[in-house]
A and B are shown apart, each in its own frame.
Chain A
Amino acid sequence: MAVYKLKTPISEEDVRKLKVNDVIYITGTMVTARDSAHKRALEFFKEEKPLPIDLQGLAVFHCGPIVRKEDEKWTVIAAGPTTSTRMDIFEDEFIKAFKVRVVIGKGGMGKRTTEGMKKYGAVYGAFTGGAAVLAAKAIKNVEGVEWFDLGMPEALWILDVEEFGPLIVAIDTHGNNLFENVQKEVEGNKQKIYERLGV
């Protein structure tokens, strides 16, 4: 379990060095995107319209933050990760189109995303579920917000972060998926547990 501190823009070469179980901390620019933002971004790409921000080398965060506006300035109050599997239907295309290098969320992602990450060079970083205060503390500034018409949780929040983490690399560029590995192990333990309980 190696620890890496990455600064955006992150190169494809850098993420290809990472392996499942590594711990990463990210400094630089992170952009939140949930279902609606993924969908709209891919529509823009199809229509060859530019996104409001160039995502190449950045981290995308599956998160619907609680943000407060005071004196024309946005502050993130809580920013825990949301369940990533919902974005499985978009993520491989998203990585291919926009060259994001780190995808952050909770609960892991499926086969399609794992394949996409291998092919186009990105990793999945699992952030501790519910740890909203820890996440908010690493967010130093809200650089901007785009697509606010999607609603506060679904908008693209452009965040300036310092050592955002710890993120566990749960999908790497070599086709490894930590959540799948754990799932297999858990399946393997099932019989042992039944035997112990005598059921």
Chain B
Amino acid sequence: MIDAKAIRVIVFNCYLLYGRGVLVIKNIIENVAVELLRQAVTKLPPDVKEALQRAHREEESEVGKTQLEAILNNVELAEKTSTPMCQDTGVIIFYVKAGAQAKDLDKIKEAIINATRRATKEVPLRPNSVGIFTRKNTGDNTGRYIPYINWDVISGDTIELTAFPKGGGSENICQLGMIRPGDGLNGLKKFVVDTMLKAGGKACPPNILGVGVGGGADIAMKIAKAALLRPINQPNPDPKVAKLEKELYEALNMTGIGPMGLGGKFTVLGVNVDYANRHPASYPVAVAGQCWAARRASARIHLDGTVEYLTHKVR
């Protein structure tokens, strides 16, 4: 049975969608994008926070433990005061899964740019967009190609947004290696370990590493970065890849680099691997570094305007 109230709601939604639909969905996308940036920089996703808590419990180095404790205190304070957990709020990156039947797909880019400007003032975010030739900071986190949007078209009528503000310190340890196909998996393992050894404490460990293999140079790095979106308590569904992730995780935590490079057991919180098929002659391996402030937040917007937040609980 449908009561009068339900009918009113349906009629109102029809009005929103087909009456002034274009404007409304666009506004929802913009508001959701601002909220996702706020969630991402002020609150860690539960899997990262749990991994930090576990590292704090299990860290054997006293100095390492002090760093994990300081990180956890800082995370709590940031959450409580709704303040960015780190002064570097990163370069703004979004991942969009656009449903082919969704409305306003051509307005998403504009909505995300507006949202980035608004979030810079409202959250606030540190302005981190500098012109290559002008050396000028635009002051609002926008500029050529920035915020950067990774697009994916999916079936259905929903729009899924992920905000991924990426810090500079961890970006600077990213590496791409075109290793010899003959060295194969062993070459990959050595490359990942060497990348971490070279990074030492520079990327604010404990780090999360995204590893992308195959495809081509750009594809490997794209896959490596996207792998950082997967919660670290979810191993790759392919058991062979999951085994490699575990093996790398254990190896990297034998380096002794430890929290903040001050020594200890926890150099990484997780290693996420993904792969593409490769050309017979090439074997690209990309490592994308992430700091302890592993910020990401996602939401799904439905055609009727309802919003599901996927990574964070909404107050």
A residues at B contact (CB < 8 Å): 1, 21, 23, 65-66, 77-80, 83, 106-108, 126, 128-134, 136-137, 166, 168, 170, 178-179, 181-183, 185-186, 189-190, 192-194, 196-199
Contacts and interface: CB of A to CB of B under 8 A. Distances in A.
Contact of A182 (B66, B247, B261): B261
Contact of A128 (B71, B87, B189): B71
Nearest to A185: B256
A192 B193 CA distance: 12
Contacts of B258: 182
Contacts of B292: 130
Contact of A78 (B84, B190, B200, B251): B84
Interface residues of B, number: 45
A4 to B, nearest CB: 13
Contact of A134 (B74, B251, B256): B74
B87 A78 contact: yes
Contacts of B81: 133
B77 interface: yes
Contact of B62 (A1, A128, A134, A196): A1
A14 to B, nearest CB: 21
Given A128-B71, A131-B71, A193 B88 contact: no
B70 A128 contact: yes
Nearest to B81: A133
A182 B262 contact: yes
A90 to B, nearest CB: 21
Contact of A166 (B66, B126, B197, B291): B66
Given A168-B63, A168-B262, 15 more contacts: A65-B87, A78-B83, A78-B87, A126-B260, A126-B262, A129-B169, A130-B71, A130-B85, A131-B71, A132-B86, A185-B256, A193-B193, A193-B254, A194-B190, A197-B247
Given A77-B83, A131-B74, A182-B257, A1 B197 contact: no
A129 B261 CA distance: 10
16 contacts: A21-B63, A78-B86, A107-B201, A107-B202, A108-B201, A128-B71, A130-B88, A130-B293, A133-B81, A134-B77, A183-B200, A190-B255, A193-B193, A193-B254, A196-B251, A199-B186
A166 B63 CA distance: 10
B28 to A, nearest CB: 30
B262 A170 contact: yes
Given A78-B87, A133-B85, A186 B256 contact: yes
Contacts, number: 129
Contact of B200 (A136, A186, A194): A186
Nearest to A181: B263
B282 interface: no
Interface in B190-225: 190, 193, 197, 200-202, 204
A166 B71 CA distance: 11
A137 B80 CA distance: 12
The 9 closest A-B pairs by CB, nearest first: A130-B86, A78-B87, A131-B74, A129-B204, A128-B70, A132-B87, A134-B74, A182-B263, A199-B190
A130 B200 CA distance: 16
B199 to A, nearest CB: 11
A178 B251 contact: no
A80 B74 CA distance: 11
A80 B86 contact: yes
B73 interface: yes
B78 interface: yes
A163 to B, nearest CB: 12
Contacts of A107: 201-202, 261
Contacts of B201: 107-108, 129, 179, 182
B241 to A, nearest CB: 16
B67 interface: yes
Interface in B95-140: 126
